[in-house]
Amino acid sequence: MPVKLGIVFYSATGTVTELARTMADEAEKVGAEVRLRKVAELAPDVAIDSQPQWRANVDASEDIAQADIDDVLWADAVIFGTPTRFGNVSAQLKNFLDGLGPGWQQGKLQDKVYSGFTASSTQHGGQETTLLALYNTIHHIGGIVVSPGYTDPTKFADGNPYGTSHVSAMGRNPVDDTARTAAMVQVRRVITMAAALRDGLAGQD
């Protein structure tokens, strides 16, 4: 049975969207069943229209369905993506995570694999703290955090063992091969570990 992978993300100017699409493409290549989902935008149109890149990303991602709790319940593994917001998870993704309460209360979110990825405008702009903050939620719901770690030689190029990250420099630095490779390494590790966990638990039944 293929691993069911949810990739749930928020992106303002498109960097996280591109990383999410890279992960989805790689996951499908290795045989996973993928749901690529974006969370609801909370910002008003006046704010979005004030930044051309923000509006361009909203328009360019219209083909991606909006996430709901069923996408997490369905999945064997979920990878969450968010830009950094003062070293923390974006309000849009946090709003989605907070809405998972009913699934958590029913014990339906535990014993799944979870991971995360991020982007920031500046170097050292809170990427690691954002991912660690994201993983706080995973600990509370009883999920299994699978970070990429330094499990592949290419990880020494991007240097973030907590999850894929990219410095966008306010859009001046497009997603590069280093970030794409990190995204592919991470998604393959998540799928491998999710299959092992799912099949191992099934074998105990």
Q: Are 117 and 90 in contact (CB under 8 A)?
A: no
SS3 90: coil
Q: Give the model confidence (pLDDT) of 102-125 as tens digits.
A: 999 999 999 999 999 999 999 989
Q: Which domains does the chain have, with CATH numbers?
A: 4-202 (3.40.50.360)
pTM summary value: 0.97
What is the average per-residue pLDDT within 195-203?
Answer: 91
Instruction: Find the DSSP H helices in 61-176.
Output: 69-74, 91-98, 101-105, 127-141, 155-158
Question: Rounded to whole angstroms, how far apart are CA atoms 143 and 95?
Answer: 18
The pLDDT tens digits of the residues spanning 136-195 come to 999 999 999 999 999 999 999 999 999 999 999 877 899 999 999 999 999 999 999 999
Q: What is the mean pLDDT of the chain?
A: 96
Instruction: Dig out the tokens for 160 from the structure.
Output: 């973030």
User: Per-residue pLDDT averaged across 18-47, rounded?
Assistant: 97
3-state helix, strand, coil in the chain (%, to 5): 45, 20, 35
Cα distances from 119 to residues 77, 123, 151, in angstroms, run 21, 10, 21
Closest by CA position to 93, among listed 107, 80, 103: 80
Question: How far is Cα 145 from Cα 73, in angstroms, rounded to an integer?
Answer: 16
Phi-psi region of 175 (alpha: psi -120 to 50; beta: other; left: phi over 0): beta
The whole-angstrom separation of Cα 78 and Cα 135 is 12
State how far the Cα of 30 lies from the Cα of 185, in Å rounded to an integer: 12
Residue 43, both tokens: 């910002």
**CA pair distance 27, 5, nearest whole angstrom:** 8
Q: Which residues contact 186 (CB under 8 A, 6 or more apart)?
A: 23, 79, 115, 117, 147, 148, 163, 164
126-135 pLDDT, tens digit each: 999 999 999 9
Segment 89-101, tens digit of pLDDT: 999 999 999 999 9
